[in-house]
């Protein structure tokens, strides 16, 4: 019965009363049973004293068997009560969340192809905890942010497809303020030589591997002229390697010859979480609360222990392998994009520690002595990948570091760009694309 009390206390006071009464009855029944058992034992002892010494052993065996069976039944009954208590508590929470919390369906749903996508066709205002307000959201028929567009390009239209994670999706700001929408606005400024459509293929939690799969299964169908692959220094390196993270997503591995092999999600991972997302508000609620707690923890420790490895200029074997895998993913995507006739551009999204000096000092203070810190190492390494692959590279760190107040370009909970950060990223990318002659 201890489990019943623990579950009741953890979930809600209303359940405490219900389960405590039940536990009280069960406890009293046990005490009564114990008293009766003691009396029967004394009676049996008296009877045994009056019996002859040669009483059959079979009687003793039957008695022992009866005691053992009774104990087993009590264990099964107690386990059943405990399971029932847990089920009742979970049911009470599920009902309570549906009736009183206003808990909505999740934005992200599990996907067998790329791991996760947004709710296809979802549109409206949703409260986003990191932004601290309601945000205007719109997801198209494929589950990506932005309007529906036909696969075939309209006459005279050019397209840019933007691949990446939550920085690209940018659900913390209204659609018009996202980096992708701002880039499209600049491309279509008065006097532009062409009409452009900028398409947002960013999904929260995405890795480079998932961006590769998104290109293969979705983005390439829209025949883009330019593809921006956005790499976030804060977590994309370890998100790519299953040895460094346990998040349920598709992965790739490198064989001895350096070839990529996909490791897809298992059907159970897809169907199980999809069913819970669609039918359980409790499951969605606990996922959101865990994400909030992670964000608060990251803020409390200033992210230093988790991001320091990205700045290690002499990475240990585990991170060396992650870099090799990441570089192969980027190079493979670049080859596939160019073979389709489009231009690939690698965009490096800087971690806040790279352009906010106070954050960087905390990284230095908390990094392990064995880490050889180099604040510019991610840009240097990714730049070499672009140089070897002969494709353009746009690092954003210099523009963000040069801003008058770089610490005001992102939300201070999980570090995503706010409106100002999205606008600065779009302006920087547009300017570099013009310098390269890719847009006019």
This prediction's pTM = 0.75
pLDDT > 70? residue 37: no
Phi and psi torsions of 46, nearest 5°: -65, -40
Beta strands in 217-339 (DSSP E): 226-232, 251-254, 260-263
Q: What is the pLDDT of residues 42-72, one digit of tens each?
A: 545 454 544 454 445 555 565 656 667 788 8
Q: What is the pLDDT of residues 197-226, one digit of tens each?
A: 999 999 999 999 999 999 999 999 999 999
Residue 291 lies in a domain: yes
Residue 383 lies in a domain: yes
Residues 68 and 164 in one domain: no
Residue 73 lies in a domain: yes
Give residue 32's domain range: 2-101
Domain-terminating residue out of 101, 134, 163: 101
Q: What is the pLDDT of residues 100-145, one digit of tens each?
A: 555 567 899 999 999 999 999 999 999 999 999 999 999 999 999 9
- Give all strands of the β-sheet with 157-164 in edge-to-edge order: 195-202, 157-164, 226-232, 343-349, 393-395
> What was the pLDDT predicted at 72?
82
Q: What is the pLDDT of residues 13-29, one digit of tens each?
A: 333 333 444 443 334 44
Residues 301 and 273 in one domain: yes
Residues 113 and 96 in one domain: no
Residue 176 lies in a domain: yes
Out of 5-19, 166-180, 287-301, which region has the weakest mean confidence (pLDDT)? 5-19
Domain-terminating residue out of 84, 101, 118: 101
Average pLDDT over residues 240-249: 93
Residue 440 lies in a domain: no
Residues 214 and 239 in one domain: yes
Instruction: Tally Cβ neighbours within 10 Å of residue 84.
Output: 13
Residue 212 lies in a domain: yes
Residues 341 and 394 in one domain: yes
**Angstrom distance (rounded) from CA 380 to CA 387:** 10
Phi and psi torsions of 182, nearest 5°: -65, -35
Residues 26 and 112 in one domain: no
Out of 6-10, 89-93, 351-355, which region has the weakest mean confidence (pLDDT)? 6-10
Instruction: Tally Cβ neighbours within 10 Å of residue 155.
Output: 6
Can you read off the two tokens belonging to residue 157? 């239209």
Task: Name, in order, each residue with C-beta under 8 angstroms of 242's C-beta and a sequence gap of 6 or more.
Answer: 251, 253, 263
Domain count along the chain? 2
Average pLDDT over residues 327-345: 98
Residues 69 and 138 in one domain: no
> What was the pLDDT predicted at 23?
43
Written in H, E and C, the secondary structure of 140-196 is CCCCCECCCCCCCCCCCEEEEEEEECHHHHCCCCCHHHCHHHHHHHHHCCCCCCCEE
Residues 286 and 230 in one domain: yes
Out of 79-83, 169-173, 249-253, 281-285, which region has the weakest mean confidence (pLDDT)? 281-285
Residues 239 and 370 in one domain: yes
Task: Name, in order, each residue with C-beta under 8 angstroms of 249's C-beta and a sequence gap of 6 or more.
Answer: 115, 116, 205, 207, 209, 210, 239, 265
Q: What is the pLDDT of residues 368-387, one digit of tens each?
A: 899 999 999 999 999 999 99
Residues 41 and 181 in one domain: no
Residue 334 lies in a domain: yes
Residue 209 lies in a domain: yes
Domain-terminating residue out of 101, 125, 155: 101
| CATH number of the domain enclosing 112 | 3.40.50.1110
What is the overall mean pLDDT for the chain? 83
pLDDT > 70? residue 287: no
Residues 82 and 211 in one domain: no
Residues 218 and 288 in one domain: yes
């Amino acid at each position: 019965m201890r489990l019943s009390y623990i579950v009741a206390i953890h979930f809600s006071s209303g359940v405490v009363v219900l389960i405590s009464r039940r536990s009280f009855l069960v406890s009293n029944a046990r005490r009564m049973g114990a008293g009766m058992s003691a009396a029967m034992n004394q009676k049996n002892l008296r009877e045994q004293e009056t019996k002859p010494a040669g009483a059959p052993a079979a009687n003793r065996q039957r008695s022992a068997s009866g005691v053992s069976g009774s104990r087993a039944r009590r264990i099964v009954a107690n386990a059943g009560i405990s399971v029932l208590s847990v089920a009742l508590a979970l049911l009470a929470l599920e009902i309570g969340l549906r009736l009183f919390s206003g808990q909505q369906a999740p934005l992200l749903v599990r996907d067998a192809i790329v791991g996760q996508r947004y709710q296809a066709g979802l549109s409206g205002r949703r409260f986003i905890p990191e932004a601290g307000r309601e945000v205007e959201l719109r997801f198209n028929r494929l589950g990506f942010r932005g309007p529906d567009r036909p696969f075939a390009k309209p006459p005279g239209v050019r397209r840019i497809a933007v691949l990446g994670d939550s920085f690209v999706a940018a659900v913390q700001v209204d659609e018009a303020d996202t980096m992708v929408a701002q880039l499209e606005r600049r491309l279509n400024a008065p006097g532009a030589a062409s009409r452009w459509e900028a398409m947002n293929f960013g999904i929260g939690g995405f890795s480079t591997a998932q961006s590769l799969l998104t290109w293969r299964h979705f983005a390439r169908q829209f025949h883009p002229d330019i593809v921006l692959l956005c790499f976030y220094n804060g977590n994309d390196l370890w998100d790519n390697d299953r040895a460094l993270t346990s998040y349920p997503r598709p992965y790739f591995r490198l064989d001895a010859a350096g070839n990529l092999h996909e490791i897809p999600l298992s059907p159970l991972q897809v169907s199980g979480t999809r069913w819970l997302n669609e039918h359980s508000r409790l499951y969605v609620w606990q996922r959101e609360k865990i994400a909030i707690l992670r964000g608060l923890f990251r803020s409390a420790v200033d992210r230093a222990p988790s991001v320091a490895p990205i700045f290690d200029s002499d990475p240990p074997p585990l991170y060396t392998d992650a870099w090799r895998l990441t570089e192969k993913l980027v190079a493979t995507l670049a080859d596939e994009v160019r073979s389709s006739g489009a231009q690939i551009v690698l965009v490096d999204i800087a971690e806040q520690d790279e352009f906010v000096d106070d954050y960087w000092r905390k990284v230095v203070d908390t990094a392990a002595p064995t880490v050889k810190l180099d604040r510019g190492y991610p840009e240097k390494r990714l730049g070499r990948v672009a140089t070897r692959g002969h494709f353009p590279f746009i690092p954003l760190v210099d523009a963000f570091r040069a801003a008058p107040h770089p610490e005001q370009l992102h939300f201070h909970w999980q570090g995503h760009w706010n409106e100002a950060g999205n606008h600065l990223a779009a302006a920087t990318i547009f300017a570099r694309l013009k310098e390269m002659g890719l847009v006019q």
